[in-house]
Structure 1
Amino acid sequence: MRRKWLILLFILVLFIILLGSVQAWAEPVPLPRVDLTIDQSDQPQEVVDSLRLLVILTVLSLVPAILVLMTSFTRIIVVLSFVRSALATQQTPPNQVLIGLALFLTLFTMAPVYQQVKTQAVDPYLAQRISQEEALERASGPIKQFMFKQTREKDLALFVNMSKMDRPNSKEDIPLTVLIPAFVISELKTAFQMGFIIYIPFLVIDMVVASTLMSMGMFMLPPVMISLPFKILLFVMVDGWYLVVKSLLESF
């Protein structure tokens, strides 16, 4: 009998709680309202501020492209993709893991450059000691210096000649529109060279396994199925991720 009263009391309390929740949800909840209007202005400064905001939003939309093409991200993600292809593990590690690792390795390798940009451009601009144009010019300096260090002269000369610009007297005379594509193809070449070296030991394992299966007459057994455990074992025994990441960091 006591147990029935406890169950009835529990049901009553639960009904009261649900009733209070329904009443709370029934009350109107104030929501923020976003208002975008275009009005006329008699002050030129307001128009300039609006145009600056539009430029900033445009630059923010290009941040992914800047991250991929003006940092060490390109080389790192291509080399990590080669590692996964050489292991023949399909989608292991998944793309999210490789991109996340490449992103944090990029932040690690680019940290000195970002610190220079912060010291030379961002902090003075926030303190209103320099203009926006001067801040952009100062910020491009460390980034261009990093890209010049990783760009081959042959690739840089290609785009200088194709742009039909005057022969530059110094590195400061080379615009970003010429430097960025030269930097990208240099990074791709370096990444493919590292990927070729990574492929060699796994290719040897595939050849040994395929020759062994053929000599045993097992033509219907896929060599990849047999070589995959040996490749993973080799990669783990030599601490492959440590060696790959170490080589990537030292290449910069």
Structure 2
Amino acid sequence: MARCRNTGAGLLGVAVLFQAGTAAAQDLPMDLIGNGTVSGQGVLLFLLIAAIGVAPALLIVVTCFPFIATVLSILRHAIGLQQSPPNMLIVSLALFLTYFVMEPVFSEAWRVGLGPAVQGTLPFEDAFLKTLEPFRIFMTARVDPETYSHLAELRAEDTLAPSPTSPLSLLVPSFLLSEMTRAFEVGFMIFLPFLIIDLVVAAILMSMGMMMVPPAIVSLPFKLAFFVVADGWTLVSAALVRGYM
């Protein structure tokens, strides 16, 4: 049973996408679908392909991936490395850390929504709404109230406080803006030690009269050594994950 639950959680995005496409197709008028005609099947296939195309973006914006990926990118620039680790490795690490953080949310969404829908005990429309509930709760806990209130004022919403019942068109951008703000705050703290190393190396080079030597080249080995000795990747990853626990 545990194995089935974990497998279902891993395939959560595909199932949510299929449900969204099915619900969208059911909302179409019958004359557009064509009652099973070739043109109607083509329209339905087009909608499903379009839904599959936006699936990665939909899954990313409701998880902790934006925060983790932004911090890891800032960390790479703070060290002074432009292409190492490569973007693919940064994104892969961010994805696995995202899965580590979001696995309880995926499991809960599968248990209350997708699981019953697959078993046929819950209609797809109700299953889709129940699947979104764990993600709504997760986003609400991370949304900055001030950011949410600013966006809510633009929409003239009755409530200026985030809640799991807030519309997704307001909750999701508020969540993304809040995560990006936190990512830049964490990135600033990560940047400081490496900035101090750059300043010390630049001062030493100036005192030695080596003004033509780029300080970034000389400080890079010291920053790498400092990061390795401190076990930086493990510390940063653990801190990022601990922020969601």
State the partner residue of 2:147. 155
Q: 1:67 aligned to 53, 59, 66, which one?
A: 59
Structure-2 change in CA distance of 1:218 and 1:171 (3 Å): same
Superposition RMSD on alpha carbons, in Å? 2.5
Q: Is 1:210 matched up with 2:179?
A: no
Q: Is 1:227 matched up with 2:223?
A: no
State the partner residue of 2:232. 240
**In the aligned structure 1, how far is the partner of 2:138 from the partner of 2:75?**
26
Structure-2 change in CA distance of 1:62 and 1:119 (3 Å): same
Shift of 1:173: 3.5
State the partner residue of 2:114. 122
Shift of 1:76: 0.5
Structure-2 change in CA distance of 1:165 and 1:230 (3 Å): same
Shift of 1:249: 0.2
Structure-2 change in CA distance of 1:47 and 1:90 (3 Å): closer
State the partner residue of 1:192. 184
Q: After TM superposition, where is structure 1 displaced by more than 6 Å over at least 4 residues in a row?
A: 46-52
Q: Could you tell me whether the CA contact under 8 Å between 1:75 and 1:188 is conserved in 2?
A: yes
CA displacement, residues 124-175 of structure 1 (integer Å, 9 cap, x when unaligned): 1111111111011101100000001111111111121111233379824411
**In the aligned structure 1, how far is the partner of 2:34 from the partner of 2:87?**
52
Q: Could you tell me whether the CA contact under 8 Å between 1:168 and 1:174 is conserved in 2?
A: no
CA displacement, residues 19-73 of structure 1 (integer Å, 9 cap, x when unaligned): xxxxxxxxxxxxxxxxxxxxx99858x9998876654433322112113211110
SS at match of 2:157: coil
**In the aligned structure 2, how far is the partner of 1:221 from the partner of 1:170?**
52
SS at match of 1:165: coil
Letter aligned with residue 97 of structure 1: L
Query: TM-score scaled to structure 2, two decimals?
Result: 0.80
Q: Is 1:137 matched up with 2:129?
A: yes
Structure-2 change in CA distance of 1:247 and 1:42 (3 Å): closer
Structure-2 change in CA distance of 1:75 and 1:67 (3 Å): same
CA displacement, residues 105-135 of structure 1 (integer Å, 9 cap, x when unaligned): 1111110000011111111111111111101
> Any stretches of 5+ residues in structure 1 without a counterpart?
1-39
Q: Which moved more, 1:184-193 or 1:166-175?
A: 166-175
Q: 1:80 aligned to 72, 75, 100, which one?
A: 72
SS at match of 1:133: helix
Query: TM-score scaled to structure 1, two decimals?
Result: 0.78
CA displacement, residues 81-117 of structure 1 (integer Å, 9 cap, x when unaligned): 0110011012010111001111111111110000011
**In the aligned structure 2, how far is the partner of 1:223 from the partner of 1:147?**
42
Larger radius of gyration: 1
Figure out how many residues of one structure are paired with residues of the other and give that number: 213
**In the aligned structure 2, how far is the partner of 1:48 from the partner of 1:165?**
38
> Any stretches of 5+ residues in structure 2 without a counterpart?
1-31
**In the aligned structure 1, how far is the partner of 2:229 from the partner of 2:127?**
49
Q: Is 1:183 matched up with 2:157?
A: no
